[in-house]
Amino acid sequence: MDRVAPEERLLNLLIALTSTRVRMTKQQIRSTVYGYDNGTHGVDDKADAAFERMFERDKEDLRRLGVPLQTVTDAANGGDIGYRIDASAATMQPIDVTPAELAILSLAADYWRDAALGSDARQAVTKVASRVPHESIPELPFGARATGSRAALGAIAEALHERRAVRFDYASSSSAPATRTVDPWRIVVVNATEYLVGRDHGADASRTFRVSRILGTVKAVGEPGAFEPPAHVDLGPLGPSAVVGTATVAVRPEAAHALRRAGTVVGSDGDWDVLEVPYRHLDALRSEILGLAGAARAVAPTELVEGVRRYTRAALEATHD
């Protein structure tokens, strides 16, 4: 028998499990779905093991495509396991996007071009496009790119969907790296920054994590359905209008434009303009001031001023020849 392309086998499996009336057992799948080693069942252990591997891989591919298999056990048959796919739950409902919006979706997929999420994003665009009539639109003068891999984000989204806890190493802005176990309740995206909000098992309380600060890989742990996120999750400082505080920052004339946009000019100090800048995370503001290489000066709060000084001293120590 010629080798069957994996996508052909996957589609055969998808169609078989969607159209089966009750369920198919693994042996029925193996002997009737074209692309598996139909008829070699029991020939030898090697063939059995190869089938098992192939079937596991196909289940994983279907899951990654958004089509998890349901398992149906049959009490009358000694509790053996069968599989099916619920067609109504698996089908893509049309998203009513305009051709211009579809072009933006392709641009969005480009954003992850080099990242772990790249193939997922392209698949998503293909799926949305399949329910949108074709219309040619002028090429957009825009591009997009993310420098991070964000493999963690995909793993968190999956675990959230399956209601499984996640485990990862995390470096917070204030404490040493430590392993955290978290029930993922919400992914919150603020512009280009993604956060995970969930119950930290160690603290037994709701915590917010910046996804880009997760070190290494995110592992799903425990059983699916292990928790139910609360109906209302307090987003705290991430909320739409939530601001933690207001800092005072002096900026050189015609410099620090991002800060100027975020804040309001409230006065001047010699040449410098004095701004009041609302902030959510003091460490983000500290990084912004550090990044301006002297074009901005922290004035208040003291914690911010001290932070900037501590970092400049540390940088000079570390680079001392």
Partner 1 sequence: MTERSRPRVARLLGIVAYLEDNGPTPFDELARHFDVSAEQISHDIEQLWLVGRPGGFANDLIDFDYDSFADGIAAITNTQGATQVRLAPREGVALVAALSALVGSGVAPRAARSALDKVTRALGEEAVTIVARPDSEDTLMPTLAAAIQAGRVASLEYVDASDRRTERDVEPHRIVTIDGAPYLECWCRRARDYRTLRVDRIVGVTVTDEPVVTAASGSEGFTLTREYDATVRLRRAGRWALEDIPGVTIDDDGELVTASMGVTNERWLAGRLLTIATALIAAEPASLRAEVARQAKAVAAAHGE
The footprint of partner 1 on residues 66-105 (CB under 8 A) is 66-67, 87, 89-98, 100-105
Q: Which is nearer to partner 1, 45 or 253 (CB)?
A: 253
Look at the block and give the residue holding tokens 């900037």.
308
Would you count residue 60 as binding partner 1 (CB under 8 A)? Answer: yes
Distances in Å between the alpha carbon of 27 and those of 52, 55, 70, 219, 244?
11, 11, 16, 31, 59
**In the structure encoding, which two tokens stand for residue 52, read together?**
């098992």
Site membership for partner 1, residue 129 (CB under 8 A): yes
**Which CB, 10 or 44, lies closer to partner 1?**
10
Under rule CB under 8 A, residue 148 binds partner 1: yes
- Cα gap 210→40, rounded to integer Å: 50
Task: Give the orientation angle of helix 6-19 with respect to helix 45-64, to 10 degrees.
Answer: 80
Give the nearer residue to partner 1 in terms of CB position, either 45 or 289. 289
Q: Could you write out the three-class secondary structure of 179-209?
A: EEEEEEEEEEEECCEEEEEEEECCCCEEEEE
Distance CA 156, CA 285 (A): 27
Question: With binding defined as CB under 8 A, does residue 121 bind partner 1?
Answer: yes
Cβ-based nearer residue to partner 1, 277 or 308: 308
**267 alpha carbon, distance to own chain's centre:** 42
Decide: is 243 part of the binding site for partner 1 (CB under 8 A).
no
201, 212, 246, 281: which one binds partner 1 (CB under 8 A):
212
Candidates 27, 34, 71, 226; binder of partner 1 (CB under 8 A) is 34
Of 89, 93, 85, the residue nearest 19 (C-alpha):
85
Instruction: Verify binding: residue 214, partner 1, rule CB under 8 A.
Output: yes
Backbone dihedral angles phi then psi of residue 318, each to the nearest 5 degrees: -70, -25
Altogether, the residues listed in the chain come to a count of 321
CA distance 100 to 194: 26
Q: Build a one-symbol-per-residue string for 154-193: x at contacts with partner 1 by CB under 8 A, - elsewhere.
A: x-xxx-xx---------x----xx--------xxxxxxxx
Q: Does 125 bind partner 1 (CB under 8 A)?
A: yes
Contact segment (CB under 8 A) with partner 1 among 15-23, 76-84, 217-225, 263-271 equals: 15-23
Query: Residue 75 or residue 142: which is nearer to partner 1 going by CB?
Result: 142
Q: Determine, following the binding rule CB under 8 A, whether residue 40 of this chain makes contact with partner 1.
A: no
